[in-house]
């Protein structure tokens, strides 16, 4: 439970009053827009276990420039994209497939599966044309599945619907069923049309549902190994999952499946044989964890491998769950081995980074997790927010019962899941679970971002480009974290900008070794003098001037 948070110092806010800053951010909007945005711009105030309500997971107001992506991006790009041996076919115009092709920097190691399949480097698309939009695209989809099968003989093919598919009414699911019967491999489709829901978050949910229905539980082989876990919501951007796997191996923890960084379809099929689910990114995959618990009896705990301290804490949680002295000792031994380098690096870098100020506006989990790494460098998070997080990601899962389900959320199917008559196997007795809870291990729980932030900081949901620029003008932070769409305007303001989606070609940033990489990169960025020399075009010539051609 969060204690009352520390208040942010006035000097850290440049002596500004957070209420005034909020007013300033809203002042240029029309009244109705300002009223809506006011509910998404919140001054943090943690009192005991109370945090303020923040409106989130609602439609972006048309006309405001958002950071968000679409439902298809969340389904195909985020959740299924990192799986190497499924042929992922985009049913739609070529742009959708092309734009989601390798743009997310998730790495994979095909040598770890016997057939060595890796289709991630390909871009499969039905390349819909006017012809299909008018007369239907099912025939072309069948041909595409056949062609992919003939060329690659994959174990599985997945089909992802883009906006026009929903608009013209192609039935991708019946095509998939037909081709599954014909070819004898697992083929399944996703109704993840870009316009569904209000952001990529809808696509996560749709992806979770279909993997759960079509893949998880298909293979009951119990693999060898002790302390079996699945790692959920880690997508191996910049090699993060490799570093986490290294640590697990060193500790003697067996990873059955990862959803879905460095993953394979066979591992998904087998994942219900693990004994514990670990959730990294709560937003994108909590649905799978919840459904697996109901159907197979695997509990889940929240972990975070971003930050060295957070990594150590997460390993200790795993050890506590398995209640095994040998594992506990091993985990402590690994922490003792890994920490000295981390502490050495912090001691060297912190004097240069201490007191510097960061802002993070990223996705649905990193804006929270990366605050850990900044804290380790003595840096202050001045403001943060998610693109598409829900209230539970901000305020903690305790608010779930009070979240109103609106029409956009109702559009996304909620699977009704029951205990499997044969495969349900509660991993711990209720008394045992209770005992572990009393010892401080929390199950099915995520506290969210706000309880860990200082009082007085601004938490902003679905930040707009205008608000981003205003914040930069007001605070001149030492570093701003967001994505590629924001990168260059921010840099033109003379502020170093770190992409926390792709890591700007860097990484890994997870685990112990990842923390070392992050410290180094941040040190280099916030202490580079080059930014101070930069003059944005509008600073040199503040107004655009033009003359009429006929003058």
What does the per-residue mask of binding to ligand CFM show for 196-235, with x meaning CB under 6 A? Answer: ----x--------------------------------x-x
CA distance 80 to 149: 18
**Residue 230 φ then ψ, to 5°:** -115, 140
Nearer Cβ to ligand CFM, position 200 or 263? 200
- Binding part of the chain for ligand CFM, among 248-256, 308-316, 363-371, 532-540 by CB under 6 A, reads 363-371
Nearer Cβ to ligand CFM, position 186 or 263? 263
In the complex, least distance from residue 219 CB atom to ligand CFM, rounded to whole angstroms: 25
Catalytic residue among 59, 104, 316, 352: 104
What does the per-residue mask of binding to ligand CFM show for 162-201, with x meaning CB under 6 A? Answer: --------------------------------------x-
Q: Does 237 bind ligand CFM (CB under 6 A)?
A: yes
In the complex, least distance from residue 413 CB atom to ligand CFM, rounded to whole angstroms: 19
Contact 67, 366 (CB under 8 A): no
Q: Is 537 exposed, middle or buried, given 0-12, 13-18 or 19+ CB atoms closer than 10 A?
A: exposed
Residues 476-505 that bind ligand CFM (CB under 6 A): 501
Among 140, 283, 302, 428, contact with ligand CFM (rule: CB under 6 A): 283
The reply to whether 104 belongs to the active site is yes
The reply to whether 73 belongs to the active site is yes
Q: Does 78 bind ligand CFM (CB under 6 A)?
A: yes
Cis geometry, peptide bond prior to residue 260 (ω within 30 degrees of 0): yes
In the complex, least distance from residue 36 CB atom to ligand CFM, rounded to whole angstroms: 23
Q: Does 74 bind ligand CFM (CB under 6 A)?
A: yes
CA distance 142 to 125: 12
Instruction: Report how far apart, in Å, the C-alpha atoms of 57 and of each of 319, 378, 385 are.
Output: 35, 32, 12
In the complex, least distance from residue 503 CB atom to ligand CFM, rounded to whole angstroms: 9
Strand-pairing partners, residue 229, are 255, 276
Q: To 5 degrees, how large is the angle CA 343–CA 347–CA 350?
A: 115
In the complex, least distance from residue 240 CB atom to ligand CFM, rounded to whole angstroms: 9
Helices 484-492 and 465-475 pack at an angle, to 10 degrees, of 40
Catalytic residue among 5, 37, 68, 70: 70
Among 257, 281, 318, 358, contact with ligand CFM (rule: CB under 6 A): 281
Residues 134-163 that bind ligand CFM (CB under 6 A): none
CA distance 445 to 2: 13
- Binding part of the chain for ligand CFM, among 113-121, 307-315, 321-329, 359-367 by CB under 6 A, reads 359-367
In the complex, least distance from residue 141 CB atom to ligand CFM, rounded to whole angstroms: 26
Nearer Cβ to ligand CFM, position 200 or 273? 200
The reply to whether 204 belongs to the active site is yes
Eight-state DSSP code of residue 106: B
In the numeric block, which tokens belong to residue 108? Answer: 């994979």
Nearer Cβ to ligand CFM, position 285 or 331? 285
Strand-pairing partners, residue 266, are none
The reply to whether 501 belongs to the active site is no
CA distance 247 to 178: 43
> What is the DSSP code string of 432-501?
HHHHHHHTTPPSS----SGGGSPBT-EEESS--HHHHHHHHHHH--SEEEE-HHHHHHHHHTT--EEETT
Contact 355, 379 (CB under 8 A): yes
In the complex, least distance from residue 108 CB atom to ligand CFM, rounded to whole angstroms: 14
Exposure string of 331-345, with b = 16+ CB inside 10 Å and e = fewer, is beebbeebeeebeeb
Among 161, 284, 304, 311, contact with ligand CFM (rule: CB under 6 A): 284
Q: Does 364 bind ligand CFM (CB under 6 A)?
A: yes
What does the per-residue mask of binding to ligand CFM show for 413-442, with x meaning CB under 6 A? Answer: ------------------------------
CA distance 531 to 496: 7
- In the complex, the residues that contact ligand CFM under the rule CB under 6 A are 74, 78, 104, 200, 233, 235, 237, 281, 283-284, 362-366, 501
Residues classed as catalytic: 70, 73, 104, 204
């Amino acid at each position: 439970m969060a204690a009352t948070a520390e208040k942010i110092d006035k000097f850290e806010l440049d002596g500004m009053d957070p209420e005034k800053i909020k007013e300033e951010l809203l002042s240029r909007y029309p009244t109705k827009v300002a009223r809506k945005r006011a509910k998404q711009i919140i001054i943090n105030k943690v009192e005991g276990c109370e945090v303020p309500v923040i409106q989130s997971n609602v439609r972006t107001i048309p006309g405001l420039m958002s950071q968000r992506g679409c439902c298809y991006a969340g389904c195909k790009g985020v959740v299924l994209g990192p799986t190497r041996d499924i042929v992922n076919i985009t049913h739609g115009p070529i742009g959708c497939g092309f734009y989601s092709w390798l743009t997310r920097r998730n790495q994979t190691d095909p040598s770890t599966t016997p057939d060595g399949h890796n289709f991630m480097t390909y871009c499969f698309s039905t390349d819909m044309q006017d012809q299909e939009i008018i007369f239907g695209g099912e025939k072309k989809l069948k041909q595409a599945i056949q062609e992919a099968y003939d060329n690659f003989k994959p174990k599985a093919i997945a089909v992802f619907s883009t906006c026009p598919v929903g608009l013209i009414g192609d039935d991708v699911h019946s095509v998939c069923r037909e081709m599954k019967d014909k070819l004898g491999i697992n083929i399944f489709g996703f109704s993840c049309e870009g316009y569904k829901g209000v952001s990529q978050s809808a696509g996560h949910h749709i992806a979770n549902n279909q993997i759960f229905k079509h893949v998880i539980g298909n293979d009951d082989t119990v693999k060898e190994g002790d302390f079996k876990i699945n790692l959920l919501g880690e997508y191996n951007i910049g090699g993060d999952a490799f570093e986490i796997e290294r640590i697990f191996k060193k500790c003697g923890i067996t990873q059955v499946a990862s959803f879905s960084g460095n993953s394979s379809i066979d591992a998904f099929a087998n994942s219900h044989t693990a004994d514990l689910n670990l959730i990294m990114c709560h937003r994108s995959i909590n649905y799978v964890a919840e459904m697996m618990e109901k159907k197979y009896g695997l509990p889940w705990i929240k972990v975070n491998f971003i930050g060295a301290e957070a990594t150590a804490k997460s390993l200790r949680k795993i050890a506590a769950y398995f209640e095994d002295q040998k594992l506990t000792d091993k985990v402590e031994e690994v922490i003792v081995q890994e920490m000295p380098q981390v502490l050495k690096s912090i001691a060297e870098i912190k004097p240069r980074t201490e007191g510097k100020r960061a802002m993070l506006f990223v996705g649905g989990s990193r804006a929270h997790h990366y605050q850990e790494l900044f804290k380790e460098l003595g840096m202050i998070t001045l403001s943060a927010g998610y693109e598409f997080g829900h209230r539970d990601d901000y305020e903690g899962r305790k608010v779930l019962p009070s979240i109103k389900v609106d029409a956009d959320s109702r559009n996304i199917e909620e699977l009704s899941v029951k205990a499997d008559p044969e495969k349900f196997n509660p991993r711990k007795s209720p008394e045992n679970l209770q005992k572990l809870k009393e010892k401080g291990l929390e199950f099915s729980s995520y506290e969210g971002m706000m309880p860990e932030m200082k009082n007085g900081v601004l938490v902003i949901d679905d930040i707009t480009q205008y608000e981003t620029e205003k914040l930069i003008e007001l605070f001149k932070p030492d570093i701003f974290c967001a994505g590629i769409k924001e990168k260059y305007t921010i840099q033109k303001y003379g502020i170093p900008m770190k992409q926390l989606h792709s890591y700007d070609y860097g990484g890994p940033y997870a685990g112990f070794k990842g923390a070392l990489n992050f410290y180094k990169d941040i040190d280099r960025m916030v202490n580079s003098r080059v930014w101070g020399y930069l003059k944005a075009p509008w600073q040199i010539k503040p107004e655009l001037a033009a003359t009429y051609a006929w003058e």
